Structure 1
């Protein structure tokens, strides 16, 4: 279902206070770099910066690259410094004798993107997180033009609901619930795309006449009770993400990953328990942090809590502050959270959001904290 769109780039801009304008280049950053096929602006910036989301500041003073989105495989970039000591990337014209004007007009379709759009495109178009009550209001599949239990491409489906003739629809199935880790209540459910269809009869639900659609393609077998929503394939994708940190300090958790694996890594899509109710917006950047294990320092020396006595575990569960003395012989040390990665929010709902893991220091896990320092 995912179609690679090489010609579309996510244009990101960044607004930070003046105190954040000074860029620190990595010690091992190369003086020159040749752009490779598959590179993104984020990847290149990560070679030079500890915080790759600051990439616009690395390019913005560039007199030779009017638009950094028009960088192509084979171009050589050089790291230089301006009169104020600010680093910037410039095109090495001696390496490739093609004028910027020629590059813009002749190679436009080959320009590298800011982020790999094809990875998040399904979540910007089809994939959804929805309330169970909302799902129940949607038109749903009654059956097909044969008695087959599992319906695939080419089948005609009959739908309880009024549809618009000639319009395309996504066919969805209710998936797992996204659970609030604090209350145990569902925040929303996955709406899993199972196929697409085109309506050729509108239906009349008041008179018991089903709508009819023909399945155009199927990702998996379609079942009765799968529900339909207008397909938004071809809808304009967001051209700009304004990469910023949230305006207020907010903490949340990674509650799921789309891979369903225990651990995941860079460019995986995750779900966090923060949304519009927390003033989260697409483009917000978060650190991913993990709680370091608690240590009990007693008469036998320091031990991790999991290796300590039952009494120490009970005492630790009631401790709310760093280094509280539990008795004369032992101290419970609640260790800090350490950074293990970064993510960028790209799709926001009321109380949860989809985010792309943009960098990792360790494998990321469900339960890791997302925060703004």
Structure 2
């Protein structure tokens, strides 16, 4: 009873501390900063905060800023403190003068992005994760008006399926399947944009007449069997950074670089989607499972180094739910945080994210988690 009360007391105290925690500004944070072309919101947040996703808390009492995610080149940010010592960032108005010899350039009309656009724009613009059922319903490329391997601008392609005359489409190449690492269930199919086309004739499948489209731009070779989708070019460069309001647990199931290990600024695929209530801008912790230890007669050893008898004991313990026995004790270690990431594109069952912080190299199979606020 005593141990239960102590555990409850410390849990309650910890929860109170988290709720009462105030945002802490770095000791190296500049008192004044001029937003430059090429900056990202994440870059500027990192100048001021160890946890850049808490950016909005610096603006919470600032009536000058209606949308803290919209900051422009030429804006001047000043770090101030209120009467209670709470830090705030304010937008400097009036004469924006940093020194007797330097003045701020005229403000740009385009807000800076949240993340580096050179990294995420291809995934916002050119990549879509779809179910096999949705892919099967799409029009496909049958061939071209000339038997050549490289289809060029202005060439005609013949299409099986319905297209709207004069509408613009993207031609997409089917890529790998994303699978859940535990169940091996197919989550989605990767599709990559290889060309853009404009519909010329609608065609008639019942009469055996294909539709035709004219090639406008080519990124890669167009192949028979590639699929057509309405071109999706609209996307936002700004994201509202926040922790999810609900508990989230998933895994990294793929990465863009196909390497065994990867680090900050890598693009990863998660087995979390719309059904898991994750959104663009959500910040998740990356965790790694610490290795299991078997404590046997020869002393504690990692499961990889345990002998056959110890491994058999572990298997029996897992099967019957009795991890502790006289012969050995199986220690299932906790998961430890190894980094953070931000989701920037969400599909039905998967999402794309950018790794924003790492403590050590990451791997496919690492966990991603968030606790409710």
Length-normalised TM-score, structure 2: 0.81
Name the residue aligned to 1:203.
203
1:27 deviates by 5.0
1:95 to 90, 98, 114: 98
Change (3 A) 1:154 1:114: same
More divergent stretch after superposition (19-28 vs 154-163) = 19-28
Deviating runs (4+, > 4 A) in structure 1?
27-37, 62-68, 75-78, 90-94, 96-100, 317-324
Name the residue aligned to 1:243.
241
Name the residue aligned to 2:231.
231
Name the residue aligned to 2:58.
58
Deviations 1:108-154 (A, max 9, x none): 24653332244333333331111112211111111111112443444
Name the residue aligned to 1:112.
112
Distance (Å, rounded) in 2 between the aligned partners of 1:167 and 1:313: 62
Change (3 A) 1:114 1:358: same
Name the residue aligned to 1:272.
270
Counting only pairs closer than 5 Å after superposition, residues 288-299 of structure 1 correspond to structure 2 as 288-299=286-297
Does the 8 Å CA contact 1:21/1:57 hold for their aligned counterparts? no
Deviations 1:201-223 (A, max 9, x none): 22222222211112222221111
Q: Does 1:327 align with 2:326?
A: yes
Q: Does 1:255 align with 2:253?
A: yes
Deviations 1:211-260 (A, max 9, x none): 11122222211111111111122x3x247644333332221111112333
Aligned partner of residue 46 in structure 1, secondary structure: helix
Unaligned runs of 5+ in 1: 1-17
More divergent stretch after superposition (87-96 vs 358-367) = 87-96
Counting only pairs closer than 5 Å after superposition, residues 165-184 of structure 1 correspond to structure 2 as 165-184=165-184
Name the residue aligned to 1:19.
19
Length-normalised TM-score, structure 1: 0.81
1:326 deviates by 3.7
What is the CA RMSD across the aligned residues, in angstroms? Answer: 3.3
Name the residue aligned to 2:144.
144
Name the residue aligned to 2:360.
362
Counting only pairs closer than 5 Å after superposition, residues 41-56 of structure 1 correspond to structure 2 as 41-56=41-56
Aligned partner of residue 54 in structure 1, secondary structure: helix
Unaligned runs of 5+ in 2: 1-17
More divergent stretch after superposition (312-321 vs 81-90) = 312-321
1:77 deviates by 5.0
Counting only pairs closer than 5 Å after superposition, residues 333-372 of structure 1 correspond to structure 2 as 333-372=331-370
Name the residue aligned to 1:40.
40
Distance (Å, rounded) in 1 between the aligned partners of 2:315 and 2:359: 29
Distance (Å, rounded) in 1 between the aligned partners of 2:108 and 2:170: 32
Aligned partner of residue 243 in structure 1, secondary structure: coil
Distance (Å, rounded) in 1 between the aligned partners of 2:267 and 2:331: 34
Distance (Å, rounded) in 2 between the aligned partners of 1:175 and 1:137: 16
Distance (Å, rounded) in 2 between the aligned partners of 1:29 and 1:295: 43
Distance (Å, rounded) in 2 between the aligned partners of 1:66 and 1:186: 42
Distance (Å, rounded) in 1 between the aligned partners of 2:341 and 2:316: 32
Distance (Å, rounded) in 2 between the aligned partners of 1:147 and 1:163: 23
Name the residue aligned to 2:73.
72
Name the residue aligned to 1:305.
303
Distance (Å, rounded) in 1 between the aligned partners of 2:214 and 2:162: 15
1:76 deviates by 6.8
